[in-house]
Every structure is written in structure tokens, then in C-alpha cells.
Amino acid sequence: MTFDRSIKIAPSILSADFANFGREIQAIEAQGADWVHVDVMDGHFVPNLTFGPPAVKAFRPHVKTFMDVHLMIAPVDPYIEAYTDAGADMITAHVEATPHIHRTLQAIRATGAKAGVSLNPGTPLSAIEHLMDLVDMVLIMTVNPGFGGQKFIHSGIEKTRQARAMIGDRPIHIQIDGGVTPQTAPLVAEAGADVLVAGSAVFRGGSVENPSPYGDNIRAIREAAENTRAAA
């Protein structure tokens, strides 16, 4: 994957039909998704439980684009290899989930996967200041992680602007996750984000039998984000 700052839409399969992941992944890719975002939750770091490595391994053959695995688990290090063996192209770890985030990011890169670092809404950007040479992506959470369908937290916009300045010319993506809609996408795109995760705003109104609303929803988010950049 070559690096660029074009807008990329990464649907979160947390909002997919849980009895139909393979077909849901195929449907969102056919409808224009750029990446596939997989939310891994452990019932400990966040109050919800989702996908272990075998589930991620089962998703893998269906993903033709890029599988971005967002680990909301603590500890992180004992599970890195299991998730990269399962086929993750990128692993994102939370700075709040491990006392040695520097080591965690090194361990992710040592597997050959790309490495992302994530910040909860309450965590200052300064927490990742010394990690810029170890990451391929900064994930700025605009909800408290754990559930889809929550309301966008606006303090993430200013944090995105500051992250963009901190990154400078480095080839590091800025991903936004939580409450992304055609209304909120322009706010973060204008501030410097390029990868927009969206769960409920992508899957609403569609199904594997009727996937065209997924395409409409992806286009609406992308166009809203691209238009604000064109205007800037």
C-alpha cells in the first residue's frame, strides 16, 4: 500500500450482520469501502466483547482491500502475534492499554504489520509525542470506545489539527473513529484526518440482500469530507 492522504472510508464491521460477516465484507468493498475496520474488544479495557483471532482469521479471505484491526484490549502484547497471524494488515493499540506502548509498537512492527496508536477522548496528544517514528497511523477516538452508534465528541477536532501538525511530513495516517457521519466527517477532514471509520453511518438502511444503501452512505461521507478539503 502506497501512502497518500486521500480520504479513505473504513466501515466498522461492528455494525454488520453478525451472522453474515463474509458477505457483509464483500458487500461493503463492492460498494466502495477503502479499508475494513475490525473492532476487537475484551470486556476489560472496554465494556464489550467481540472478536478473537479465529474470527479475524475467518474474515481475512473476504477482505481484498486492507484489514485494519483496532485492539481495545489490555494487555496487548500477548495477543499481537495471534492477530497478525490471523491476517491483520495493521494493528492499532491504545496508549492507555499498556504501560510500555513504545515496546508494543515495536512488537507490532516486528511482525511485519503496520502499527497504529490510539488515543481515547480524554487522553492528551502529548502521550504519543515520542512515538512518531514507530507508527504508521494515529487513531483519534471521537467516542469512548466500546460501542457503535455513540455521539461524536467534538474535542477530537482540535486534537486532529494538533496531530496533523505533529506529524508534519511523515507518512502517518490520521484515523477518526466514533460518530462519523456526513455531518461530522468534514470537521475532521478539514482538520487533517484521512481515514474515516464509520459503523452505523455506513450500514444503516442496507443489508447483504440490499447493499446499495451502503454505497450511498459511503459516498455521502466521502463527498462531505472531500468537499471541505477542496474548499480549504
Residues carrying an active site annotation: 39, 177
Nearer to Zn ion, 24 or 177 (CB): 177
- Smallest gap from residue 142 Cβ to ligand DX5 (A): 8
Give the three cell numbers for residue 163: 496531530
Q: Whole-angstrom Cα distance, residue 172 to residue 116? A: 9
- Residues forming the site for ligand DX5 (CB under 6 A): 12, 14-15, 37, 39, 70, 143, 145-150, 177-180, 197-201
- Smallest gap from residue 118 Cβ to ligand DX5 (A): 9
> Helix, strand, coil: what percent of the chain each, to 5?
45, 20, 40
Nearest to 63 by CA among 73, 71, 55: 55
Instruction: Please select the residue that binds Zn ion; options are 68, 89, 136, 177, rule is CB under 5 A.
Output: 177
180 binds, among ligand DX5, Zn ion, none (CB under 5 to 8 A by kind): ligand DX5
Please tell me whether residue 159 binds Zn ion under the rule CB under 5 A: no
3 state SS for 186-224: HHHHHHCCCEEEECHHHHCCCCCCCCHHHHHHHHHHHHH
Nearer to ligand DX5, 47 or 171 (CB): 47
CA torsion sign for 45, 49, 53, 57 is negative
Identify which range of 34-42, 57-65, 127-135, 211-219 contacts Zn ion by CB under 5 A. 34-42
Residues found near Zn ion in the complex (CB under 5 A): 39, 70, 177
